């Protein structure tokens, strides 16, 4: 639970605390929609808290969400994930810092363990690649890219 403190006076803060203590925690609000009008929900927008909103989508309309996006109060991406092969399990993950893509993690063989980590600078330049080539969950190959190189 976060209370904005920058512009809040002490009195307001006390009142806010009383309200928060006195009220049961409200559940998250989920807004559902049916983008392809087939009668089955395929998009969920969930306000998790003041700083976090989560969108989930069912891109192939099989009833199972296969895309997730989390963004912050300034509409900057925080996290994104994708079920590339539509088996119901996410396998492609995007981690953002200040809204800029910093790292991507991919489960190449869809066995629910990450095989490839890609680190980016400025959101586009690959700075480092890590691989787990034998599938034991541990990195066994690392490639660092010089900052002067294009890729
Ligand atoms: Ca639908
Ligand atoms: Ca789906
Ligand atoms: Ca998958
Ligand atoms: Ca894997």
CA–CA separation, 2 and 95 (whole Å):
22
Centroid of ligand 3 to alpha carbon of 60 (angstroms) = 13
Centroid of ligand 3 to alpha carbon of 138 (angstroms) = 20
Name the residue ranges covered by the structural domains of the chain.
28-144
Query: Which one of the ligands is nearest to 62 CA?
Result: 2
Residues 96-130 as b/e (b if ≥16 CB within 10 A, e otherwise) read beeeebbbbbbbbeeeeebbbbbbbeeeeebbeeb
Residue pLDDT, tens place only, 107-138: 999 999 999 999 999 999 999 999 999 989 89
Confidence of residue 29 (pLDDT cuts 50, 70, 90): confident
- Average pLDDT of 14-19? 54
Centroid of ligand 2 to alpha carbon of 53 (angstroms) = 20
Number of other residues whose CB lies within 10 A of the CB of residue 94: 20
For residue 54, the number of C-alpha atoms closer than 13 Å in the C-beta half-sphere is 12
Query: Which one of the ligands is nearest to 64 CA?
Result: 2
Query: Which one of the ligands is nearest to 82 CA?
Result: 3
The whole-model pTM stands at 0.77
| pLDDT at site 28 | 73
**61, exposed or middle or buried, with CB in 10 Å at 0-12, 13-18, 19+?**
middle
Centroid of ligand 1 to alpha carbon of 99 (angstroms) = 29
Confidence of residue 1 (pLDDT cuts 50, 70, 90): low
CA–CA separation, 82 and 31 (whole Å):
20
Confidence of residue 24 (pLDDT cuts 50, 70, 90): very low
| pLDDT at site 151 | 46
Both structure tokens of 103 = 């790292």
């Amino acid at each position: 639970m976060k209370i904005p403190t920058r512009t809040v006076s002490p009195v307001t803060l006390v009142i806010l605390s009383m309200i928060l203590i006195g009220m049961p925690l409200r559940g998250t609000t989920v807004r559902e929609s049916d983008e392809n009008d087939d009668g089955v929900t395929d998009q969920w927008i969930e306000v998790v808290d003041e700083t976090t909103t989560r969108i989930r989508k069912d891109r192939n309309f099989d009833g199972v969400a296969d895309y997730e996006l989390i963004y912050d109060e300034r509409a900057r991406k925080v996290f994104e994930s994708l079920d590339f092969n539509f088996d119901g399990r996410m396998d492609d993950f995007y981690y953002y810092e200040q809204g800029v893509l910093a790292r991507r993690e991919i489960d190449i063989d869809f066995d629910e363990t990450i095989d490839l980590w890609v680190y980016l600078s400025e959101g586009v330049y690959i700075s480092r690649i890590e691989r787990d080539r034998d599938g034991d969950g541990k990195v066994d190959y690392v490639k660092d890219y010089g900052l002067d190189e294009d890729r």
